[in-house]
Structure 1
Amino acid sequence: MGINLPSAKGKGRRAPMAEINVTPLVDVMLVLLIIFMVTAPLMTAGVPVNLPDSRAKAVEPTQQPVTLSMDADGRTYIDDVEVSADNLPGELEKIAAAGAGATEPRQVMLRADRSLDYGRVNAVLGELNRAGLNRVSLISVAQ
């Protein structure tokens, strides 16, 4: 960068500076480069779909989801009510039968303790599938 020194003939007047300060330009370009580097992989991850336009309102869920919890000891709860392993298939079939007349299938949220055996959680998922409750969300803690 150049410095303009006062000249003798200008007597204190500054001569116009003919240099361009490129530092802000480089800063902006680096920020744009970082943004494109972060967003470019995200653009290729999805499947390109041309969705139709609609003026319909969003569909609100008609039923409250069922919460199925499994604690560290392997006890199973349906909406905070303990259910034994022998009674679980029957209770799940009752839930599926109660939601059979609805327009959308009943949603189940499964909360399982992290110390549980994968086999126990998989057995409960199998019972849910056998009862016809296929809309299962696995609940976890965001970190």
Structure 2
Amino acid sequence: MAGVRTRRKAMSEINVVPYIDVMLVLLIIFMVTAPMLNLGVEVNLPEADAEPLDSEQNEEPMVVTVLKNGDLYLNAGGDGDATSGLIDPESLVQTVSAIVRRNPELQVLVGGDTAVEYGRIYDAMVLLQKAGVKKVGLMSDPLEGTPEA
């Protein structure tokens, strides 16, 4: 009987420990890289003692940012479009008008650096008017020392 071998039954269970390890590594990578994905443009907004706008909508407003050199940046907010980044005036009108056709009550905010000429902000607002936007607001930072609401 010493020469008789017993056959082992094949194991039909999946070993999930390596999958959990891979998942945890991916989670850590995501947690480290997510804060680095800042899609905004750095501008020095003017400070004002203005009340924040009441947002009747649950979605984020679209933001058009005007830089000192006149470059326009579009951030479509929570609209779901991949429209974020540097944009030329003609594309801005086309893109925003397409979004406004789907959501006529869309609120658009215009933000500009404190060093931007007033004419450049005005030009951006005219482009938004051509695109059919009904609600346009200007962005600012709260005054230093002013408690936030």
Q: Using CA pairs below 8 Å that are at least 6 residues apart, which structure has the higher relative contact order?
A: 2
One-letter amino acid of the structure 2 residue matched with residue 76 of structure 1: L
Q: Which residue of 2 aligns with 1:85?
A: 89
Give SS of 2:90's match.
coil
Task: Give 5+ residue unaligned stretches, structure 2.
Answer: 1-54, 76-83, 144-149
1:51-62 to 2 correspondence within 5 Å? Answer: 60-62=56-58
Q: Which residue of 2 aligns with 1:106?
A: 106
C-alpha change, 1:72 and 1:130, in structure 2 (3 Å) is same
One-letter amino acid of the structure 1 residue matched with residue 126 of structure 2: G
Query: CA RMSD, aligned part only?
Result: 1.9
Q: Which residue of 2 aligns with 1:48?
A: none
Q: Which residue of 1 aligns with 2:138?
A: 138
CA distance in structure 2 between the partners assigned to 1:76 and 1:141 by the alignment: 19
Does structure 1 residue 70 correspond to structure 2 residue 70? no
Q: Which residue of 2 aligns with 1:129?
A: 129
The question of whether the paired residues in 1 share the 8 Å contact of 2:68 and 2:117 is answered with no
1:99 deviates by 0.8
Which ranges of 4 or more aligned residues in structure 1 deviate by more than 4 Å? Answer: none
Q: TM-score, normalised by structure 1?
A: 0.50
1:77 deviates by 0.9
The question of whether the paired residues in 1 share the 8 Å contact of 2:73 and 2:85 is answered with yes
1:60 deviates by 4.8
1:135 deviates by 0.8
Give SS of 1:86's match.
helix
C-alpha change, 1:71 and 1:61, in structure 2 (3 Å) is same
Q: TM-score, normalised by structure 2?
A: 0.49
Task: Give 5+ residue unaligned stretches, structure 1.
Answer: 1-58
1:119 deviates by 1.3
Deviations 1:62-111 (A, max 9, x none): 433111111222111111411112322112211211213xxxx0001111
The question of whether the paired residues in 1 share the 8 Å contact of 2:89 and 2:127 is answered with no
Give SS of 2:86's match.
strand
2:100 to 93, 96, 100: 96
Q: What number of residue pairs does the alignment pair up?
A: 81
1:7-86 to 2 correspondence within 5 Å? Answer: 60-79=56-75, 80-86=84-90
Which structure is larger by alpha-carbon Rg, 1 or 2? 1
The question of whether the paired residues in 2 share the 8 Å contact of 1:63 and 1:106 is answered with no
